[in-house]
């Protein structure tokens, strides 16, 4: 079945440091890939997405490239801010009718950014 | 534009009781999905509804059920509550027919005593 594996956390960085959160997946066919972010006490917010190989999703300085050859979708940001502190989830949605409305999530990575 | 609204935000129940959670999707969205979030199991898919029909279901016991109304609002019901049902229940809606991408509500925190 489908699965998503994220790098173990938590990740602690100083402000303006570079961020990479690794994400790899297992799925049949050509899934769509997503990064969601969850702030304390809130639901998940879509950060970025990619729907086919070599697509690059980007938003708010975050980027991720859909790499089919390595089945990866790593999240990167060149300079993090304290306000980026949150939990980040990598997720996939498989193609096909049996996957309607279903996201398979990684375990989440807690990011803390210190001033 | 209003986001996904879940009510109530917090709920406390005792073992053996049943509970109903409500979700109002973004206006115009017809796909509604439900997830359970726990520290141990993470985010797990419960089921998805589109135009009042359940199209997809996760691997949860029959105590977990849901429905969707003609205005796309959805409810999920959990009967015979167990301690392990304590979780954050998240609802998400989508404008697209394939149910992606999803927009999440802030969840209902269910605690079982």
Chain A residue set in contact with B, beta carbons under 8 Å: 32, 34, 36, 41-46, 49, 89, 93, 97-108
DSSP A95: S
pLDDT tens-place string over residues A22-68: 999 999 888 999 999 999 888 999 999 999 999 999 999 999 999 99
Q: How confident is the model at residue B97 (pLDDT cuts 50, 70, 90)?
A: confident
Best of B21, B43, B47, B109 to disrupt the A interface by mutation (most A CBs within 10 Å)? B43
DSSP B25: P
Cross-chain CB nearest to B55 (options A46, A101, A106): A101
Residue B8: cis peptide before it, omega within 30 degrees of 0: yes
**Chain A residues in contact with B99 (beta carbon < 8 A):** 93, 100-102
DSSP A72: B
pLDDT tens-place string over residues B40-95: 999 999 999 999 999 999 999 999 999 999 999 999 999 999 999 999 999 999 99
Distance CA B47, CA B42 (A): 16
Chain B residue with minimum CA distance to A40: B106
Distance CA A21, CA A94 (A): 22
Q: What percent of chain B clears pLDDT 70, i.e. is strictly above it?
A: 99
Average pLDDT, chain B: 95
Q: How confident is the model at residue A95 (pLDDT cuts 50, 70, 90)?
A: confident
Identify the weakest region by mean pLDDT among A94-108, B1-15, B48-62.
A94-108
Identify the weakest region by mean pLDDT among A39-43, B15-19, B97-101.
B97-101
Residue A113 makes CB contacts below 8 A (sequence gap 6+) with A12, A13, A14, A15, A17, A80, A81, A82, A83, A84, A85
Residue B62 makes CB contacts below 8 A (sequence gap 6+) with none
Q: Give the DSSP letter string of B43-105.
A: EEEEEEEETTEEEEE-S--TTEEEEE-TTS-EEEEE-S--GGG-EEEEEEEESSTT--S-EE-
Chain B residue set in contact with A, beta carbons under 8 Å: 4, 6, 31-33, 35, 42-43, 45, 48-50, 55-56, 58, 90, 92, 94, 98-107
- pLDDT exceeds cutoff 80 at A97: no
Cβ neighbours around B60 below 10 Å, total: 16
Mean pLDDT for the stretch of residues A6-16: 92
Chain A residue with minimum CA distance to B40: A107
**Chain B residues in contact with A106 (beta carbon < 8 A):** 42
Helix (H, G, I), strand (E, B) or coil at A82: helix
């Amino acid at each position: 079945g489908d699965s998503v594996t994220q790098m173990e956390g938590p990740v602690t960085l100083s402000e303006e440091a570079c961020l990479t959160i690794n994400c790899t997946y297992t799925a049949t066919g050509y899934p769509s890939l997503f990064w969601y972010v969850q702030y304390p006490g809130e639901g998940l917010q879509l950060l970025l997405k990619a729907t086919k190989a070599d697509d690059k999703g980007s938003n708010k300085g975050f980027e991720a490239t859909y790499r089919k050859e390595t089945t990866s979708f790593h999240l990167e940001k060149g300079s993090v801010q304290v306000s980026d502190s949150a939990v980040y989830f990598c997720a996939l949605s498989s193609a096909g009718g049996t996957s309607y409305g279903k996201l398979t999530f990684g375990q989440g990575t807690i990011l803390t950014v210190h001033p | 534009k209003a986001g996904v609204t879940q009510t109530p935000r917090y709920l406390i129940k005792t073992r053996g009781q049943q509970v109903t959670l409500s979700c109002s999707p973004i206006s115009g969205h017809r796909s509604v999905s439900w997830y359970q979030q726990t520290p141990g199991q993470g985010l797990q898919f419960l089921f998805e509804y589109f135009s009042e029909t359940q199209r997809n279901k996760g691997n949860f016991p029959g105590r977990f059920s849901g429905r969707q109304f003609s205005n796309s609002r959805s409810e999920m019901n959990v009967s015979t509550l167990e301690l392990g049902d304590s979780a954050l229940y998240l609802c998400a809606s989508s404008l697209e027919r394939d149910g992606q991408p999803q927009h999440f509500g802030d969840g209902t925190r269910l605690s079982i005593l």
